[in-house]
Amino acid sequence: MNSHLRSAMVFALVIILAGCGAGGDNQGLEYAPNMYHSVPYEPLSQITEEGAGEAAQFLSDTEDGHGEYYNSNPLNPNRMTMRVPPANTVPRSKGGYLPYRIPKDSLDLAARILTSPFDSVEVQAILKDGEVLYDRFCEHCHGAKGQADGLVAEKYPGVANLTGLAYQNITPGHIFHVITHGKGLMGAHGSQMSPEERWKIAHYVKKLQNQ
């Protein structure tokens, strides 16, 4: 190998290794600073100064001529990337459901006041969906027919027999609340399925009880 080429390669290697060193106030070279120092933007606040962030150690590489922190939308009349929701508004899910606010320890209240969003005709139409969801989330504990004979129940006695006399008269609202918050051995499932899916399971459980 040519000695000049060898020397050039050694020199380049030394430069690369030198860039890997860090300590104290010298944190070395960063070859992709935006990957290490991402800016956590707050969506409901806007920085309108186009040069904001130019003095930072890392700058935007978008080549748009703006500083790193500029995040306003000039096409919006209020220069906002996201509009602030109106005061006192409450978020709804895709199906129009309000957030479920009845606390875990208020099962009796939920059983009395909760009403299904499905009318009697719609209930018949969603039972197939309820069966699919029941098989996915409930069958391994409560069994295919709700008789507490699932595989999990074989290992952990105490799983509720949903067809037993103690559960025959519970309301769909009772079932919805227990699915949401859990009860006894059963964990909460409110984060795993939508309100609509929980109601579908509740109606399917009532079908199992009436068979």
pLDDT digits (tens, 9 = 90+) for 181-204: 999 989 999 999 999 999 999 999
Q: What are phi and psi of 30, to 5 degrees?
A: -120, 120
167 has pLDDT over 90: yes
Q: Show the CA angle centred on residue 209, arms to residues 132 and 206, nearest 5°.
A: 55
> Is the CB of residue 165 less than 8 Å from the CB of residue 181?
no
Of 104, 112, 114, 99, nearest in space to 186 by CA:
104
Confidence category of residue 7, pLDDT binned at 50, 70, 90: confident
Name the more confident of 110 and 51. 110
Q: What is the pLDDT of residue 57?
A: 46
Alpha-carbon span 150 to 144, nearest angstrom: 7
Average pLDDT over residues 139-148: 95
Nearest CA among 160, 134, 164, 132 for reference residue 148? 160
Mean pLDDT in the chain? 83
Average pLDDT over residues 88-93: 79
Mean pLDDT, to the nearest integer, of 122-148? 95
DSSP state, residue 111:
H
| Dihedral pair phi/psi, residue 8, rounded to 5° | -65, -40
- pLDDT surpassing 60 at residue 171: yes
pLDDT digit string, tens, across residues 13-43: 877 776 666 666 766 666 776 676 666 666 6
Residue 93 sits at φ, ψ, to 5 deg, of -80, 180
Q: Retrieve residue 8's tokens.
A: 């050039």
Phi then psi for residue 183, to 5 deg, are: -165, 130
When pLDDT is averaged across residues 6-10 and rounded to a whole number, the result is: 83
Q: Vertex 139, ends 134 and 142: CA angle to 5°?
A: 110
Helices (H), the chain: 3-20, 33-36, 107-113, 120-137, 139-142, 151-155, 172-181, 195-209
